[in-house]
Amino acid sequence: MKRLVSFKVERRPVASGRVVFFVSLLAIFAALMVAGIFFQIYGVSPIRAYQLILRGSLGSRFGLTETVRRAIPLLLCGVGLTVAFRALFWNIGAEGQLLLGAVAAAGVALFTGLPDQLLLPAMFIGGFIGGAAWGLIPAILKVKLGVNDVITTLMMNYIAIYIVEWLIHGPWKGPSMRGFAYTDTFPRAAWLPTIYGTRIHWPTLVLGLVLAALMYILVTRTRSGFEIRVIGENPDAARFAGINPLKTTLLVMLISGGFAGLAGVGEVAGIHQRLLGPSHISMGYGYTAIIVAWLARRNPLAVIVTSFLFGVIMTGGDVIRVSLGLPFQLINVFNGLILFFLIGSEILLRYRISFLLRR
């Protein structure tokens, strides 16, 4: 039998913004379709589940504000990761960098005795330094010794987790928190202001939006941004062009680690007002931010949109648990699937498939 339709696959020169947008949308849609199977397994209609998730995360004032407050750390970590990923530095360590930022902020809040008006700025500076320091170690190890960045950044997440555990069980355990593994509550001056009646600590949100814009300018309009891209796309060309790999790598990890550190400051100063268990400080924001940055196609401005989207998904996790009684871990399944479909669909950006009708 002769085929009536044949198709031709050819390389696409550059995918336009519109194609990228629709392919991304298609990927997310496909991932949600597959994820729907899990609702089906638990006897919940996927359509009803997604309705509940959307209503719960966007349809009420409470849901919407929860979505935004979860988008804040994703925004900060995600913007930083777009810069690191542009240089092809595989920073899988935003989670640990966030925790170290939280530790530094807690240290400043509890033990420096700074005057009230200086306390919050000092916490943000400390948090940036904490996160950046945690990110610079793998950067130096990679450039100077050729140590694999994926492993070091990841291992340092675990080390960060246990440092926080150690601090809250040991030296920093609050005397007034008998029995609980917390530090003492921060002094009032170290609490970030929130939008009335919500948990949105707006100074961190504003900071994230400003930094997203600044990073967009950095990567698209400056020489450093150009160097970052060359290092990522063609290390040999970078060497010939005299680009200093150490300087560039340190810069991207200063940014990436530092921003994750700022996210950590926001979480402890804006939500919890104390240092507590690592899984309470961050619900895997550092890992989810990897998807946020990748979905944004490494564009810092697009992170504003993608971090909000993943805020919806994380708040959806609460809906799944509370309204449907299903495990919160489904969120990880969603995330894994979305990431798979996302990178799997990238082939559609590189190739064009055209169908030809035979007469």
Partner 1 sequence: MGWETWAITTLSRSLAYGTPLLLGTLGEIYAERSGVLNLGVEGMMIVGAYSAFSIAYITGNPWLGILMAAVIGGAFSLIHAFTSVTLKANQVISGLSLTMLGLGLSGVFGRGWEGKPLPASLPKITISVLSKITFLGPILFEGQNLIVYLTILLVPLLWYILYRTRIGITIRSVGESPATADSLGINVYRVRYLCVFLGGVLAGVAGGYLSVAYRPAWTEGMTAGMGWIVIALTIFAFWNPAYGMLGAYLFAALYHLAFRLQPWVSPELLKAMPYTFAILVLIFVSRGTLLKRMGAPAALALPYTRGEE
Q: Does residue 339 bind partner 1 (CB under 8 A)?
A: yes
Query: Exactly one of 146, 175, 197, 242 binds partner 1 (CB under 8 A); which one?
Result: 146
Q: Does residue 156 bind partner 1 (CB under 8 A)?
A: yes
Report the residue number, 241 or 343, with the smaller CB distance to partner 1.
343
Query: What residues form DSSP beta bridges with 353?
Result: 9
We find the least distance from the C-beta atom of residue 207 to partner 1, in angstroms, to be 27
Report the residue number, 253 or 337, with the smaller CB distance to partner 1.
337
The answer to whether the beta carbons of residues 94 and 80 sit under 8 Å apart is yes
Q: Which stretch binds partner 1 (CB under 8 A): 156-164, 196-204, 212-220, 266-274?
A: 156-164
- Measured CA to CA, the distance from residue 148 to residue 84 in angstroms comes to 15
- Name 151's Cβ contacts closer than 8 Å, sequence gap at least 6: none
Query: Exactly one of 118, 210, 344, 353 binds partner 1 (CB under 8 A); which one?
Result: 344
Place of tokens 């935003």: 94
Q: Does residue 292 bind partner 1 (CB under 8 A)?
A: no
| Nearest Cα residue to 211 out of 68, 70, 83, 65 | 83
Query: Exactly one of 48, 118, 329, 353 binds partner 1 (CB under 8 A); which one?
Result: 329
- Measured CA to CA, the distance from residue 45 to residue 84 in angstroms comes to 40
Q: Which stretch binds partner 1 (CB under 8 A): 51-59, 201-209, 305-313, 327-335?
A: 327-335
Report the residue number, 37 or 195, with the smaller CB distance to partner 1.
37
Tell me the two tokens of residue 321: 């648990």
Q: Does residue 334 bind partner 1 (CB under 8 A)?
A: yes
Which amino acid, 188?
R
Q: Does residue 343 bind partner 1 (CB under 8 A)?
A: yes
- Measured CA to CA, the distance from residue 240 to residue 246 in angstroms comes to 15
CB atoms under 10 Å from CB of 230, counted, come to: 20
- Measured CA to CA, the distance from residue 218 to residue 220 in angstroms comes to 6
- Measured CA to CA, the distance from residue 4 to residue 105 in angstroms comes to 66
Q: Which stretch binds partner 1 (CB under 8 A): 62-70, 71-79, 190-198, 338-346?
A: 338-346
Provide the binding-site residues for partner 1, judged by CB under 8 A: 38, 90, 92, 141, 145-148, 150-152, 154-156, 158-159, 161-163, 165-166, 169-170, 287, 290, 294, 326-327, 329-337, 339-340, 343-344, 346-347
